[in-house]
Structure formats: structure tokens, C-alpha cells
Amino acid sequence: MSDDEPTLTGKIKDKLIRTKEQWAKDGRALTGHTARPEEERLPPGQRLTQDFPVLDLGVQPNLSTSDWSLSVGGQVKNQVKWSWADFMAQPQQEFVNDIHCVTTWSRYDNTWLGVPMKALLAAADPKPEAKFLMVKSFDGYSTNVPLADVDRDDVFLGHTWSGKPLTRDHGGPVRLVIPHLYFWKSAKWIRHITFMDKDQPGYWEARGYHMRGDPWPEERYS
């Protein structure tokens, strides 16, 4: 299985995917308001939930930590490949953040342990022409994000949530977490990152979702 070859099978939630594509066409949940995180905690069009919903394409890879590794390629000076042991030998940090999903649920005060994205960037050393990332996952999912949006102290590769190893349904053993963007950018079961000079759409971005996905100005759709 190459990094480019999707592993999506017949288990895909076709109906959910069609529904979400239709939401993008309809502009569902758009309020037309822009809020500022300095003034409000809940972005426009969002509602608070206490539980932790599971959203994916219906394929949840069953990865032990020894099956998992993260590779980095494209416009970088160093082609990093981290096994679980390499990953756990990186600086570990606690994070607390709010989650905002484009399907309108938000969840406050999530506590995590993970490796700061800055550690991966330091190891990979992106070339000056690197401006965007394509993140690829073990379920065949992908999502694109500007380099500037991951080169921040609050972005990390998370392996522990609420004091326990991140469960399979939420992307364990390791997922990306980019708290200031809609949660579809936070790739579960992260597998590979390609640094790119030009932006390219990932899975949802090719289906009508925004290339950046900032919840405050409601960047839900393209």
C-alpha cells in the first residue's frame, strides 16, 4: 500500500458523505456573522456538546503502536520517519483546547498529551518554498492546511486524551490536532505529511469544504 493509494473500501459511509457534500452546496449552518475569539468562546453557528462525537468515513484502522509510523516528505530538507519509539522520544507536552466541528458541535476543555508540531517542523526543516501541507491518514483520508497554521505553539500530534491513550475511534494511536481550525483538519490515524509549494485540496476540500477552515469567520465551505 503506497502513501498515495486510498484504502477506502465498501465500508465507507456513502450516505454521510453525500449529506456533507450537499451541506457544502447549501451553505448549511452559515449565519453570516463573524465572531472574534477574544470576545466569544463559541464560534458563530456552533452549539456546545458535552460528549465527544465520532466522525470519519466509516473506516477505522486498527493500528497497534508498532504498526504506526509517521513519514514526512516533499519540500523539506530532512525526510523524517518516526516510529512509535522515535515519536515518544520527542518533547512531550500537555495541551488544553476547544474543538469546533463544521457539523456545528463544539466541545470545550479537552486535555491532551502530545508532541508539539514545532518539534516535527524542527526535525523536517521545511524548505523556503514549502507553504502548504497535505496530511494523509491510514484510512485513506487526507486534508490540506497552510504551513503557517501548523507552525504554532498550540498545534500538536496527540496520543493521549483525558489522561488515557487516544482510542481507535478518535484516531489513536496518533492524530493531528489543530484547535483553531474546524476539526476536519485534525487528521486521525496520521500517517504521512507532504510539504508542498502550492495548495491542493484534501478529501473534504475536494467536496466543497474550505481550503483553510477558520471557524471564526465561518470558513465552512469554498
Under the rule (CB under 5 A), what is the footprint of Mo ion? 55, 101, 184
Cβ distance to Mo ion smaller for residue 75 or 142:
142
Query: Using the 8-state DSSP alphabet, how is residue 206 labeled?
Result: G
DSSP calls for 104-167: SEEEEEEEEEEEEHHHHHHHH-B-TT--EEEEEETTS-EEEEEGGGTSSTT-EEEEEETTEEPP
Asked if 137 interacts with ligand MTE (CB under 6 A), we say: yes
Indicate the residue among 122 and 146 with the shorter CB distance to ligand MTE: 146
By the rule CB under 6 A, 112 interacts with ligand MTE: no
Contact between 98 and ligand MTE by CB under 6 A: the answer reads no
- Binding partner of residue 170 among Mo ion, ligand MTE, none, CB under 5 to 8 Å per kind? ligand MTE
* CA 153-156-162 angle, 5° bins: 115
Amino acid type, 72: V
Taking the complex as a whole, the smallest distance from the CB of residue 64 to ligand MTE amounts, in Å, to: 17
If the CB atoms of residues 95 and 203 are measured against Mo ion, the closer one turns out to be: 203
Contacts of 155 (CB under 8 A, 6+ apart): 116, 117, 118, 149, 176, 177, 178, 179
Of 23, 87, 132, 141, which one interacts with ligand MTE (CB under 6 A)?
A: 141
* Positions that interact with ligand MTE (CB under 6 A): 52-57, 101, 137, 139, 141, 170-171, 183-184, 186-189
